[in-house]
A and B are shown apart, each in its own frame.
Chain A
Amino acid sequence: MRKVTLLLLGVLIIATMVISAPVLHMYTALDVNEAKIYIEAFEKATGIKVDWVRMSSGEVVARLTAERNNPRASIWFGGPAVDFIAAKKRGLLEPYKSPNAWSLDLTFKDYDGYWTGFYLGVIGFASNTEQLKELGVEAPTSWQDLLKPEFKGRISVAYPYTSGTSYTILAGLIALMGEDEAFDYYKKLDKQIHHYNKSGSACVTQVGLGEVTVGISFAHDIVKKGVSKGYPVKLTIPKEGTSYEIGAMAVVKGGPEPELAHKFIDWMLTAEAQSLMKNWFRVPLNPDAEVVEGAVRITDVNVIPLDFVYFGNAKDRIIERWKNEIQYGD
């Protein structure tokens, strides 16, 4: 029995040692495989260890709300600015104006420093080319194309309340069509949808695998997780106009290690860190950073002007309406 007790004690000691090492705690809404790129480079550059969890950005907000009185993470890294604005409204964030953010256009960061942008992304459609051939249709190039009977039960997208990507899509549709019309459109779209995911980029691989024919997600995710991996995936951009995001990061209010969080934000804005985004076909915001071939720039496509502050503040109401009318509507 003594041996077991000793063993137990040993395990406990190791466990406490692991806990007491100083680290930056992070929630990220980036893909696991992508987050790893920046986090490992940051760890190497600064010697700070990062403990991170990947969640969809809706989940991050929910988690931060749940932990409001006892925040466990110091930084929220990645996710559309609208979700950061919603979080700011709930009082979950702490302002930090990074000295490295000076070069950013004012629209790419919060005026008071509650969040800082670090990349731009536009929404696109991912289509499985083999299935398009079998179905005898062209890849969709407009929102209306998604309603074609051929695509019935063959589209996937994420829940707008768990996924920032998906909320960006919904916000774009509202900005494009007007709220009531956008919901009318979504009701029709809902009938085409095979299933909803929790995370925005999940549909890309599903399209690649042929589980569904069309997915709606960010262009960089479609290129990275679909096209560049060798899946039979084609990227198209809706011609009526498409939605876009400013990918952001922010310091969590009352988080355990604010200085480390500041260091991360500073580092992530450097040209060196921003150039790493070429690995994921993202368009960096630092003008000195490299942009990879194949990345979709906002200037290349027709984007819908989005009032991020409006959509950030209206998120709770719009989501409630979506749940009522679309997810659980008849």
Chain B
Amino acid sequence: MYFTKQLKRIFNEPTLFITLLAIWLLLGVFVIYPIVMVAMTSLKDYDGNFSLNTYKMLFTKVYFRRPLFNSLKLGATVASISAIIGYIFAFAVTRINVPGKRIFTTVATFPIVSPPFVIALAAILLFGRNGIITHDILKDSLKIDIYGFGGLSLVETLAYFPTAFLSLEGILRSINPALEEASLSMGYSKWRTFWKVTFPLSMPGIFSAWLLVFAQSMADFGNPMILSGNYQVLSVAAYLEITGSFNLSTGSGLAILLLIPTIVAFTLQKYWLSKKSYVTITGKPSTMSILEPSKAVKTLFTVVLLIFTAAILMFYGTVFYGSFTKLWGVDHTLSLKNYKFVFDVGLEYIKDTIILAAVATPISGILGMLIAYFVSRKEFPGKRLTEATSLLTFAIPGTVVGIGYLLSFNDRPLMLTGTAAIIVLIFVFRNLPVGVQNGVAALEQIDRSIEEASLDMGASSATTFWKVTLPLITPAFFSGLFFTFVKSMTAISAVIFVVSGSWNLVTVAILGSVENSDLAQAAAYSYVLIFIVVVMMFLLRMLTYRFSYERKIAR
């Protein structure tokens, strides 16, 4: 039997077997179990008996259907606009000779690595009733209400179109320009070539980008928390039910409603679309500017790019400026007062955030690499399942994870509420998919014979992993580390359920300040966070260089 053969092979190497068991145990306890708890809680009534009452209520009462409908509508809107803008950006960068490509690409990645509230915060500073644009420039001539559907769509689009852009850029780069060339040489116009060749080939990419952004918008917590006004969305409704009323079953029910569409979106994106992809990689260098359009179209593209890049810069600039104002909205004299506040009151938060993220980062990185190693190098039963599980947290909205952890680790045997461990665990497992994916990608580029050589010479699997495989995938490992660190520093949706007096986070403090409308304080907090992230980026870059340099010497 194939199965028993696999089992036997794994039994022969006890270290390997034990590591695998440990991975399964960890994934089971910290990924699967919390989700199961959320589902189970939503199926219980007040006294803990099985009942479908929660769902009956969720679907019969307008007041729970509304957040679901609102979230779906917002997600679809943001995803559609983001896909269009992302495509324009990607097309401009890969197919047209627009000037300043680098700058556009760099600026577009700001929202990906920055704290979640910066854009929402800027939206209030700019477009609030007393905002720079609405009040000071337009003199209230336009009735703009930034709170609600419109404002949220704007803010989430700016925050998430970069995701669409980056994924579409990859897709467009991998479409072989030879196909377009062929079409052109057969006499089709550039316009027709675009519609008949380039566009259909990028369709799966567009769908995929749409689904990614849709899921991100559905799961978004920070922006709607600040800007939704009376436009209730699922993530916020679930949060309020749980933290405001301790209504565990309704909150869990809402969380499940949130979970289903996001999981479906991710599964479609990962398993259906990636198979349908019409990517035509040939290894030939792609020639640029083959579809160089007329001057007018090119100008149009440049203008769109400029508008969005300028918008992002303006949003970040406003928050930067706001962080130095004495009292936002009243006294705009510049001062360092807010930064003093951040270091007075917020120092604990900053320290906690850095410590927790620093502890979680290497753990997540190493665990991710281990799983990647097993998945791409070893044969064992349940391999696909292991991989899918390790990638699962990516698809699950933070709100659901947070509720799951709150429900699961509040009691014996794993009493973790209030400890540093629970926050670290959330960081580790939420960011695990990045480590795994990076690891798998890196491992697939390394010839197996190198490892086989080590094994043949008598080294165990463990030694081979530590001495041969790991050094070879160091760059991938470090880029995973950076991502994990950044995402941990800026996380909010899951951790907000488990922060405590002993361990609190900067993002939670920012949310508190914004809720209190202490906008300048929030702005200062955000920039301190951004500063730390940038410093870490440089440090990790340096580390990566050092490691690869040493590798070269050793060779």
Given contacts A69-B411, A206-B517, contact A62 B246 (CB under 8 A): yes
Select B418's contact among A8, A67, A196, beta carbons within 8 Å. A67
In the bound complex, residues from chain B placing their C-beta under 8 Å from that of A69 are 410-411
The answer to whether A276 has its CB under 8 Å from any CB of chain B is no
Given contacts A70-B411, A198-B515, A199-B516, contact A319 B359 (CB under 8 A): no
In the complex, chain B residues 39-91 whose Cβ is within 8 Å of any chain A Cβ? 61-64, 66
When A and B form their complex, what is the total count of cross-chain residue pairs whose Cβ atoms lie within 8 Å? 148
Select A202's contact among B129, B135, B515, beta carbons within 8 Å. B515
The answer to whether A25 has its CB under 8 Å from any CB of chain B is yes
Tell me whether B66 and A328 are in contact (CB under 8 A).
yes
The answer to whether B112 has its CB under 8 Å from any CB of chain A is no
Interchain CA distance A67-B466 in the complex, whole Å: 42
Given contacts A72-B418, A159-B244, A211-B129, contact A230 B515 (CB under 8 A): no
Interchain CA distance A46-B359 in the complex, whole Å: 33
In the bound complex, residues from chain A placing their C-beta under 8 Å from that of B128 are 209-211
In the complex, chain A residues 1-25 whose Cβ is within 8 Å of any chain B Cβ? 1, 4, 8, 11-12, 14-15, 18-19, 23, 25
In the complex, the chain B residue whose C-beta lies closest to that of A70 is B415
What 0/1 pattern do residues 308 to 324 of A give for CB contact below 8 A with B? 00000000000100011
What 0/1 pattern do residues 415 to 436 of B give for CB contact below 8 A with A? 1011110000000000000000
Listed residue (B61, B128, B243, B363) with the most chain A CB atoms within 10 angstroms of its CB: B243
What 0/1 pattern do residues 238 to 260 of B give for CB contact below 8 A with A? 00101111100000000000000
In the bound complex, residues from chain A placing their C-beta under 8 Å from that of B451 are none
Select B330's contact among A73, A231, A323, beta carbons within 8 Å. A231
The answer to whether A229 has its CB under 8 Å from any CB of chain B is yes
Interchain CA distance A15-B502 in the complex, whole Å: 11
In the complex, chain B residues 358-374 whose Cβ is within 8 Å of any chain A Cβ? 358-359, 362-363
What 0/1 pattern do residues 53 to 71 of A give for CB contact below 8 A with B? 1111011011101110110
Interchain CA distance A172-B61 in the complex, whole Å: 29
The answer to whether B450 has its CB under 8 Å from any CB of chain A is no
In the complex, the chain B residue whose C-beta lies closest to that of A231 is B330
How many Å from the CB of A113 to the closest CB on chain B? 24
The answer to whether A161 has its CB under 8 Å from any CB of chain B is yes
Select B230's contact among A26, A61, A196, A211, beta carbons within 8 Å. A196
In the complex, chain B residues 291-333 whose Cβ is within 8 Å of any chain A Cβ? 327-331
Interchain CA distance A230-B516 in the complex, whole Å: 16
How many Å from the CB of B371 to the closest CB on chain A? 18
How many Å from the CB of A164 to the closest CB on chain B? 12
Interchain CA distance A51-B130 in the complex, whole Å: 36
Select A72's contact among B61, B229, B417, beta carbons within 8 Å. B417
The answer to whether A188 has its CB under 8 Å from any CB of chain B is no
In the bound complex, residues from chain B placing their C-beta under 8 Å from that of A230 are 327, 330-331
The answer to whether B495 has its CB under 8 Å from any CB of chain A is no
In the bound complex, residues from chain A placing their C-beta under 8 Å from that of B358 are 11
How many Å from the CB of A4 to the closest CB on chain B? 6
The answer to whether B512 has its CB under 8 Å from any CB of chain A is yes
What 0/1 pattern do residues 174 to 207 of A give for CB contact below 8 A with B? 0000000000000000000111111101100110
The answer to whether B219 has its CB under 8 Å from any CB of chain A is no
The answer to whether B288 has its CB under 8 Å from any CB of chain A is no
How many Å from the CB of B468 to the closest CB on chain A? 12
Tell me whether A58 and B244 are in contact (CB under 8 A).
yes
Given contacts A53-B501, A199-B515, A210-B129, contact A58 B359 (CB under 8 A): no
17 contacting pairs across A/B (C-beta < 8 A)? A8-B359, A23-B502, A25-B418, A53-B500, A63-B243, A67-B418, A69-B410, A69-B411, A73-B501, A159-B244, A161-B244, A162-B240, A194-B230, A196-B230, A205-B517, A230-B330, A231-B329
Partner-B contacts on A (CB < 8 A): 1, 4, 8, 11-12, 14-15, 18-19, 23, 25-27, 31-33, 36, 51-56, 58-59, 61-63, 65-67, 69-70, 72-73, 159, 161-162, 193-199, 201-202, 205-206, 208-212, 229-232, 319, 323-324, 327-330
Given A58-B244, A209-B128, 12 more pairs with CB closer than 8 A: A4-B362, A8-B359, A15-B359, A19-B420, A32-B345, A51-B501, A54-B512, A159-B240, A161-B240, A211-B124, A231-B330, A319-B245
Partner-A contacts on B (CB < 8 A): 61-64, 66, 124, 128-130, 135, 147, 228-230, 240, 242-246, 327-331, 345, 355, 358-359, 362-363, 406, 410-411, 415, 417-420, 466, 470, 499-502, 504, 512-513, 515-519
